[in-house]
Amino acid sequence: MVQAFKYALDPNATQEAALRSHCGASRAAYNWAIGWVTASWWQRKAEASYGIPEGELTPWRPWSLPALRKEFNQAKKTNHFADWWEENSKEAYNTGLANAAAAFDNYAKSKNGRRKGARMGMPRFKSKHKARLACRFTTGTIRVDVDGRHVTLPRLGTIRTHESTTKLQRRVAGGTARILSATVRHERGRWFVSFQVETRREITRVARPGVAVGVDLGVKVLAVMADSAGEIRYAPNPKHYETALKTLKRLSRRVSRRQGPAVHDPITGKTTRREPSNRWRKANEQRNRIHHRTANLRADALHKLTASIRDEYGTVVVEDLNVAGMLKNRRLARKIADAGFGEIRRQLTYKGQRNACRTVVASRWYPSSKTCSSCKTAKAKLPLHVRVFSCDNCGLVMDRDENAARNLADLASAGMTGTGVAGDRGTQVTKPRGADHKTRATRSSRKAGTGRAGGAIPQQRTETRDRQQDTEALTLW
């Protein structure tokens, strides 16, 4: 498997200058590629406005990595690269060209509808003051030294690490790991190196491989876990950002009262850059230190939570939450971002692959909170402020999150991922006014006597299946 090993670096002044030079070279190569490709786009647009026929327009310039690399090798000796391009490794420029090629590919796929997510705009130039400092090395001398406290990178030489690299060094020396690439990045106020390593990892047997657990995420309680054995566990929300918010407000006021790197004119709307004062730098460093500590505490807590779940259960059921949509709620966005819902699902997925365990993702439209975990009767509506679930059919009264976790655990035993209609196992049913993703009230399948919740008729299911086939045909067309 491919695994990352990340270490903090302690470079001296000369090495830090070389690191910044390499990252700047990567940004310069990226901007050159963006300008070279888009120049033909604007030229064609100008020629078309003059009435030039399509066949006589300037040809499109390719943006594949081999094409960009070939053209860059010709241009680096004639333009502004000529004075300093030899000071950095070729891998620095290749990093920028590869990022530009990927940006154009993502833009083209998004425009053609072949890429999921929000629509991507045309690639833009990276600012010298805002771009993240990063550079990737794939060839050359990439080594973890024997002493366990140094790493060697192309053109940068040997750099001391802040922490021990003995774990990776022993695996490489023993032949159970092979370094594929190394990426240096400046984040959270210091430099890091991340090794992409192909390693052999033994599958670890979990404590209870035959038990499934449903994980319901929330803000008040970070995770409620209900397993198929009937046990309930609550993971409290540490709320790291809420704890540090008072200190961050005080430090942010201190930063705003000092001379920063930019001045915004409210009349003209322009922003003028200036040299920040030393007092501003010191105050900003103090504020960033709190931000970095909060992020580290959150990452540590999430790793411990997901590791404990994956080390115990053989099957984990999670919800397909629309986190991006949830963050648009201005009242809950800060707390949802502090909880890290998306990161929890990501870690549960890849840690399950390490243990060869199953991960079941419930449908985004499966009403786990609205469905009774005892009789599978669903409510049409259940407001968010109602924290106790009360079943009108069987009289069950239970905590809302615990009820949802039990329903998620039942999905693993039933071998399904949720259809959006509680109690309707494995099939979708038509709903009034074509609202296929809205929850309707259903009855228990035990009382309906039809084997289907709510007594859905087969004709409706046939019509739904035909409508889905027609939609798929239009999509392919």
Q: Return d(Cα 195, Cα 161) in angstroms, integer.
A: 13
Catalytic, 71? Answer no
Catalytic, 424? Answer no
Residue 85: name the closest of 32, 152, 140, 159 by CA: 32
- Of 91, 227, 319, 424, the catalytic one is 319
- Of 91, 216, 227, 338, the catalytic one is 216
Beta bridge partners of 160: 150
Q: Return d(Cα 432, Cα 438) in angstroms, integer.
A: 9
- Of 91, 227, 338, 401, the catalytic one is 401
Strands across the sheet with 134-137, in order?
A: 2-8, 190-199, 177-187, 134-137
Nearest 5°: CA angle at 255, between 252 and 256?
A: 90
Catalytic, 402? Answer no
Catalytic (active-site) positions:
216, 319, 401
